[in-house]
């Protein structure tokens, strides 16, 4: 990677964000596409100041992760209609100082799921009530999936359930629910707290497909518990790369080198597990 006065700057903002493999994925993509750009991780606390800095410094694009996917919205100049409908943003494009928000989580999650299963007619429970949960919930509903929301905070969980017009269940009662697809969207179990799971093992059964959107570690405690109870599992790597590929296209207008992006992240995860 040669950095010079013409190198475009991209990055990810969140807190925490040092675990992110976004730099590995996007820098591999820029290199493969021969684009003079670099992607960095920025752990931030003040989202308004961060976006002011983005515009002032000419940062071309940002990924947005926990806990800012909804908090970022008031500070944008414009939003894509899908992001407006979902109420969450994970991608920002800077066009001549105007910041436009998009959501690629929805597309990423659905593509990862549809690689493994037919969605229409299923009953899915989504664990969490953040930006990713919103995006996945709206997308699954559009594909004919019955959904329900489980969350630790009753206020946030019930609010999302109202927006999605679906049932809400307190997280400590999820064991009584039998569903076809269980999607875990919270940071619980993410590096460096790999030993945690948001639900107990009684939630899992042999007819269940369990997806965790966390990709680091690739097999979370949530997925290990699901597998031990006979459930099929889907890790977060596919969703992560699919949503990243959509970001790359939005930022550059160039077809994303998906396989290169996938292998770059998979290889780094393999290194960290040895």
Catalytic residues: 69
How far is 258 from 141, CA to CA, in rounded Å?
Answer: 26
Sequence-ordered list of residues with C-beta below 8 angstroms from that of 166, at least 6 positions apart, any chain: 137, 141, 146, 147, 148, 149
Taking residue 22's Cβ as centre, other Cβ atoms within 10 Å add up to 22
CB neighbour burial string for 163-190, b if at least 16 within 10 angstroms, e if fewer: bbebebbebeebeeeebbbbbbbbbbbb
How far is 90 from 257, CA to CA, in rounded Å?
Answer: 20
The strands making up 123-127's β-sheet, listed across from edge to edge, are: 168-170, 146-151, 123-127, 181-184, 209-212, 232-234
């Amino acid at each position: 990677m040669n950095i010079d006065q013409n190198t475009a700057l991209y990055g990810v903002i969140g807190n925490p964000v040092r675990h992110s493999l976004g730099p590995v994925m996007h820098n591999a993509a820029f290199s493969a596409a021969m684009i003079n750009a670099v992607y960095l991780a920025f752990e931030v606390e003040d989202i308004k100041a961060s976006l002011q800095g983005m515009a002032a410094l000419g940062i071309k694009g940002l990924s947005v992760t926990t806990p800012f996917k909804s908090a970022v919205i008031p500070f944008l100049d414009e939003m894509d209609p899908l992001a407006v409908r979902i109420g969450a943003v994970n991608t920002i494009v800077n066009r001549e100082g105007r910041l436009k928000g998009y959501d690629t989580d929805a597309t990423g999650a659905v593509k990862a799921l549809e690689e493994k299963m037919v969605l229409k007619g299923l009953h899915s429970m989504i664990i969490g009530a953040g930006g990713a949960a919103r995006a996945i919930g709206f997308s699954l509903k559009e594909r004919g999936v019955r959904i329900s929301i489980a969350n630790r905070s009753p206020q946030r969980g019930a609010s999302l359930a109202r927006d999605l017009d679906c049932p809400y269940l307190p997280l400590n009662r999820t064991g009584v629910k039998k569903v076809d697809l269980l999607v875990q969207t919270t940071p619980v179990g993410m590096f460096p707290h790999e030993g945690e799971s948001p639900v107990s093992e009684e939630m899992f059964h042999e007819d269940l497909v369990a997806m965790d959107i966390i990709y680091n570690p690739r097999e979370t405690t949530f997925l290990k518990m699901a597998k031990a109870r006979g459930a099929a599992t889907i890790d977060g790597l596919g969703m992560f790369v699919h949503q990243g590929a959509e970001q790359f296209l939005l930022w550059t207008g160039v077809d994303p080198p998906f396989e290169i992006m996938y292998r770059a992240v998979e290889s780094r995860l393999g290194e960290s597990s040895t």
